[in-house]
A = this chain, B = another copy of it.
Amino acid sequence: MAPRYAPSLRAPLPLSILLLQMGFAALFALYARLAEPEVTADNHFTNTYAGFQDVNVMLFLGFGLLATCFVRYAFSSLAFVLLLGSCSVQWAILANGFLYHFHDGKIWISLRSLAEAQLCAISCLIAMGSVLGKTNPVQLLLMALLEVTGFIANTWILHTFLKAEVMYSSALLHIFASFFGVIMSWTLVQKQPELQHEKEKLDRKTALFSMMGVLFLWMFWPSFLFGLVAPSLPACKMAAIYSTYLSMAASAISAFTISMVMSPRGKINMAHIQGAMLAGGVAMTFVISVNHMPWVAITTGMCAGLLSTMGLLYLKPHLELTFGCHDTCGVLSVHGLPGILGWAAYLFVQVSHAPDTAWSQSMFCICSLLITLSTSAIAGGLTGFLLKWTIWRPPQDRKRFEDQAFWKFEHLAMEQ
C-alpha cells in the first residue's frame, strides 16, 4: 500500500517543501514590508476587503471543493489545492512585488498585491486541473512555481512589448493557464492505456461536494470580475456585476439543455454541468470591459455554455485518443475555449464600436493572443519535461487518483 520509493527518499520530499517555505520567510524578511493603508487607497485594484474575501472563497473553497469529485482522490485534491494556493500566493506576492511594487529596496504589500497574487494562484489552480491525480505534491509545487513565474513573465512581455494594460493581460489568465496545463499534461504523461481511469469517476456524494465548489465559483464570479475592472471606471465596475450575473445564469441554462440534447436518452451529465456552468464567467472576463448591453452578456454566456459542453463531449476524448493528451478536469474545454470565445467577442465589440482603429486593434489582440499561446506552450512543455525527471518520484500508474498513496486512514491505523 505504501509508495514504492525507499524510506530514505521520502523524508526529503516534505523537507523540500519546508525548505521552500523557509526560503519564502527569508525573502519576506529581507524585502517585504506592509504598505500603509493610505498608499493603497488611491490606487486600488480591488477596492474592498469584501471583494478580496470573495475571491479568497473562490480560490480555496471553490477550486478546493471542485477538485473533490474523484471518488478515491477527494482528500488529496482538496489538500493539494490548499497547499498550492498557499504556496503560489506567497511566491506571486514576491515575484509581482519585485516587478511592480519595489520601492526603496522593499516590496510593499497591500490589498492590491494580495489581489494580484490571488489572480496568479487562480491561474496556477486551473493549470493544476489538467495534471490532477497524476502527480505528487512536490511535482505540483514545482509546477506552481513555474506556472506563476510563466504567467507573470507573460504579463510582463505583453506590458513591455505591446503596452497592454494590466487588466487586459490579466484577462488572458484562463487561456494561458489552460494551454499551459494541457501542454504540460501532454509532455508529462503521453501514453494512456484506457479511455478513462476507473477512479476518475464521480460518486453520488463526491459529486455533491464538487457541485458546491462550482456553486461557490459561480456565485462569486461577479466579485472576481469586479476586481478586474479598473477603479477609474465606476460605471464599468457595476456593469461588470450585472453582466456577469446574467451571463452565468444563461450559461447554466445552456449547459443543462445542451447536456440533455446531446445524450441519446436525454439524460444530464454532472461533469458537463460542472464545467459548462462556469464557461459564461470565463467568457465574460474580456467582455466586461467593453460591453454594457445585457443581451450581449446573455448571448455570450449561452454560447460559452454550448461551446464548453461540446468541448467536454467531443474535444476531451478526442485529444486523449488521438494525441494521448489526458486533461483530467477538461480545463481546455472549461477555460480555454470559452476564454478564446470571450477574446473573440471582445475583439468583435471593439472593432464594431471603433471601425477606424479596427486594424490596429485587431493586430494588438491577435498578437497578444499568439504571444500568450506561445509562452504558455513553451512554459508548459518545459514544466512537463522537468516534472518527468524521476528524482521527483512521480506516482506509478496504479497509484493514480488514489488517496491511499498520500494519506494515513485511521481505520488502517493498526496495520500501519
Binding site for B on A (CB under 8 A): 2-3, 7, 10-11, 13-15, 17-18, 21-22, 24-26, 28-29, 32-34, 36-37, 49-50, 53-54, 56-57, 60-61, 64-65, 68, 74-75, 78-79, 82-83, 85-87, 89-90, 109-111, 114, 137, 201-209, 211-212, 215-216, 218-220, 222-223, 226, 234-235, 238-239, 241-243, 245-246, 248-250, 252-254, 256-258, 260-261, 263-271, 273, 277, 292-295, 298-299, 302, 403, 406-411, 416
Contact = CB atoms under 8 A, between A and B. Distances in A.
Contact of A10 (B25, B266, B299): B266
A407 B109 contact: no
Contacts of A241: 49, 111
Given A28-B295, A75-B208, 9 more contacts: A14-B266, A18-B257, A21-B254, A21-B302, A29-B299, A49-B50, A83-B256, A110-B242, A205-B205
A206 to B, nearest CB: 8
Contact of A215 (B64, B114, B207, B269): B64
A226 B111 CA distance: 14
Given A14-B261, A15-B257, A250-B21, A56 B266 contact: no
A346 B51 CA distance: 30
Contacts of A56: 219
Count this chain's copies in the assembly.
3
B273 A79 contact: yes
Contacts of A238: 34, 37, 111
Contacts of A25: 250, 295, 298-299, 302
30 contacts: A2-B265, A3-B265, A11-B261, A14-B258, A14-B260, A14-B261, A21-B254, A26-B295, A28-B246, A28-B298, A32-B294, A33-B292, A34-B242, A49-B241, A53-B223, A60-B215, A64-B215, A68-B208, A75-B207, A79-B273, A82-B215, A83-B252, A83-B256, A86-B253, A87-B249, A109-B294, A111-B238, A205-B205, A267-B416, A271-B410
Contacts of A26: 295
A62 to B, nearest CB: 10
Contacts of A24: 250, 298
A83 B50 contact: no
B36 A235 contact: yes
Contacts of A202: 410
Contacts of A208: 68, 74-75, 78, 206, 209
Given A60-B215, A207-B75, A298-B28, A201 B411 contact: yes
A201 B14 contact: no
Closest 8 CB pairs of A and B: A29-B295, A10-B266, A86-B249, A14-B260, A267-B408, A28-B295, A14-B257, A201-B410
Given A68-B208, A90-B246, A208-B68, A219 B53 contact: yes
Contacts of A203: 411
